[in-house]
Structure 1
Amino acid sequence: MLSRRLNIRRAERAGMKRALSLAVPVAIALAACSEPPTPLVKARCQTDEDCDQGLLCEDGICVPRDAFRCDAVSSGMAILQPAPHIVDFGGVGATQTEQEITLRNIGDCALTVFEVNFGTGAESPFTCDGCGEESFPIEIFPMREHSLKVSFAPPGVGSFADRLLILSDDAEFPELQVPLRAHFDGVPELRATPREIEFGYVAVGREGARTLRLANTGNGTARLGIKAVRIDPSSSDAFSVEGSPAETFQLEPLEVDQRSGLTVTVLYHPREIGSHEAYAVIETDSESVGVVSLPLRGTSETPPVLSVSPGQVVFGEAQLGRTVIERITVVNQGGSPLMISHRWASGFSTDFVAQPAAVEPIDPGSFIEVEILLTPTATGQLSGVLVLESNDPSRASISIPVSATGVNQLGTQVVKIELAYENGSDSAFDEDLRNVDLTLEHPYGFVCNKHEPSPQNWDEFGTPSWLAYGPKEEPERIILVDPQRDGTYRVMLQYVQDCSALPTDLLASLLGLSIEALAGGLSSGAIQLDGADIGNMIENACFNRSATTAMVTVYVNGSVIAEVPATLNRRGDFVYALNLVRQNGQFRLQ
């Protein structure tokens, strides 16, 4: 249909051109009879710009525009041809992308375009430069064109479509539609954990190893290709990488594949005495991510030397329910950073706690203090062993005995509620992040838990305090000191996290923290993140889900009055494990 229209129009157009070519010489000849000849010869026009206002260039001659209006052309027809017929942006990035649409009149008389709009109106994800009401109407003369600029900036991840509606006086198609399409897969984002690697001291001829985990935490479905992980400078012989991909390794976003990730090992193997620095360079195939460099540091010079004082902690007599503090000082007397961690040996009393839970590296000549807190809940001997582990090659660990004697000179009643649950090892760096929170409810609804660790409004119902051990908050315990009034207390357990295959260091990366800061902050309370917040942040990074079993033990002045098991199946579950009744000054299980 369109080709036949074009053939007809071309024939008519050729006839018009012949008529113009005959008319112009005749007009010139007639003018020559009445006017004196001019010695100037006007050059043939090349474009419309070569002609005066109101004229168009046609076959080298400036012709009045009115000669091309449809009412001045015999059987004139305006034909609108947009190009391209479909505007497909394809896959786009996060920034704005532009494409040009050309409106061409392939007819033989002037075309009027009245307006150009989007099919979805103001809701369109596309924009158009030159499509406003103030830009129309416009005239497009035969074999001439007008350009519009259509832009797309993704409002989110997904596929998007609309249509451009063009209203004109095209005799056959007064409304033309140009489909618009685009899709945005999202933006990849590299999370490397840890963000820097400190090997500390490694002797010449020995080797230190650190694990580097890479994940794509971008949005949508945009993959991230890891082309290589290498050491920079390449001449460094103190560091090397094991596990760099031989070909580009594609990381799916964690939102798409919760198991997608790449783990490589960075090694430090000094060959001479000295301090060494380099970078682990991660090369990606993404323009937005580019190349990421992570600092590496290690030393084979003077090793760290761990010194601890005192060598044991003796509290002596301590009144039930009252918290007392002793401190130990850890000094680095060596020539390189000292790294330490601490834990309680098995069988310790939860009346003791050590803070901070995680210790930053100690520079040569510097020291830190570790606080040991005691809140006795039973009379008699209390004991534990605090184990300090370090990178001192001569003292990999030190055991510090801690002892006290609980006394009850004031006749104080002290209740301790202890929660232990299954969540793998007690290390901050295994792959089990299941977390159950313990809450004690006051007879009138007030609570003591991680979010309200030391409420002050319980009055005659006692003074409660909550505490958890280690970066994984297990075990947890609540101590209720000196209740004076009878009532029923309720013990509630809430399963706030059940990601049983999420690396803790990946969690730290998702939260924008160092592993040490995460571990120390969660146990000491310096980082105030409740379990629900953490669960929401890492919902898309959980590899699998599993239930957990818990055991609640209740002590009154050191004597066990209840041991209650509980099972929680999934995150969000909660259960009232037991009711604790105080009647006539005595506690019992309801």
Structure 2
Amino acid sequence: MPAAIGAAALMAASGAATAEPVSLTLEYTCPFPLIGDQPIVAEISSDIPSEATVGEAIGPFQIEAITTVNETSRTGLKLVGSATIEGTATSTNIISTVTGDQEIVVPLTIPQSDIPDTSGSFTIPASGEAPAQTFTTDQVGEGTINVGGLVLEMTARTADGSIAPDPIGQFTADCTQVADQDTVLQTFQVVSGETDPDPAIAVAPEEVDFGDVQSGLTGEQSVTVSNEGGAALGINGITLGGANADAFMQTNNCTTVAPGESCSVDLTYYASGEGDQTATLTIQSGDPDNPTVEIPLTGTSYMQALPAISVEPASVDFGTIQVGTSSEKTVTVNNTGSAVLNVTAISLGGANAGDFMQTSDCATVPADQSCTVTVTYTANTAAVSSATLTIESDDAENPAVDVALTGEGDDGSSGTVDFLLDLEGSTHIKASDSSLPLTGSIDAVLNLATGMYTADLNIEPTQGSFRILKLFKRLKATANVEFEPVDDTTGTLIDGTLTAKSTLYVHVPKVTVNLFGFQLPIGGGEECRTVEPVTIDMQTPDGETFAPLDGGNLTGTYALPPLEHCGGLTDILNLFLAGEGNTIDLALTPNL
């Protein structure tokens, strides 16, 4: 699925700063409808200077990106008739300087691009403009430009220019950057532009507050010491003093600081007792105008442990399901505090609260533990339903947390896609400890909006062997088995999990035993079948996913009803064929 990624570079050639070409290749994983998570690779390029002068505005400038789209995404688009793709990519990026991080959002335009008919990956261009930026004196020093997160707003169109069927026609994808990549597009220096012949000390922050720290624990902060002058700055001493100096500790790497460079003083606050504790960090240097800098330090120690509630996710979207059916999702309540969290009430409210139901195991939640609220949405009408799940607790700062709930019922009027899948696997008959090989096909019609499908199930006739005990001899029996579907196979494909429900009669037209080298019939016949249809429920195994383009596995258990009209030995056959606890394992692959 195509996307382009913006760079957070915010400097262009200006004045003495000479732009230089830079590029960066990054990998993302983007969740796309129907085909699931897909990788994209983007090559970002621009001209970005490696130096910026304080007070001089630089930029705006042009960002270009080329994104490689994989074959799976191309095939997924073509399945619903897409001919072109277009949209926007919004990149959230970070400019880091000595004063901290600044978040910049850069939008890029993805022009209408053709989707090739031939197999293989293809590329999509994107371009946009990053805004101008001006740096201040307190930002003098080294900075970096890091490419960050990505959100895609995409539109796929058919050959006549209309929007392709849902859910691929228009969608939003919040992409995840692959971990452990180098995200730095450019490293630059912010320079003052004026040379001071003397050293000049600057500290940040100018005061340090450790906030509330539980007694017996510690808090950590740091102070950056910079040289904004034109000569080397000698650090002559760093000391702690004041009323509670023994509650703080400092370590540092400060000796001589070159112009434009900095060093760090790391501070630790050891909370004890109850109440405020204060001290002063004193830095003595060779700055002739400011030889002594004093930084106030404060911290508050408290004895009482406090609970703190955190709820994930902040909102729950059940998507679109068939009218008359239900969907279940969970909300996790975490206690990130240091005392037991008491959950006092969980309730549902809002315009369509009656379409939702909640159950939970939440009462008291120990520190660093969690509990679960299970929310069920029932689609009673073909419309959007919304409600609010409210969780109340004894967190004094956050006594009530609201979770927005949404879902939509579908009456089956949305678009569909046909899929033909080959099946291969086996079923294990518990009564005789034997297995039957299975082959066949499933011809499915999938509703793109609801994830529901109906299918024609065709299982080819098969044959299996089992041993029976008769007249004190172990005889090997061979059974021919056929399958007669009673109705369509139905199920859902939601979030990579396939469910299937099939109802069919099992026929046994012939059963023989091997006696002295001869195959002797002992049962079966044209009317030999189960007294009632067999119902088999299957689904994707835990930990696996299913996609129409890739296929996947199904497993299930079922009971085999007794056989009837199989001749004089029907009761003996049922001893070794009928009963519960039978299993089925199928591998489904696309028939392309």
TM-score (norm 1): 0.26
Q: Mark the structure with the bigger radius of gyration.
A: 1
Point out the structure with the larger helix share.
1
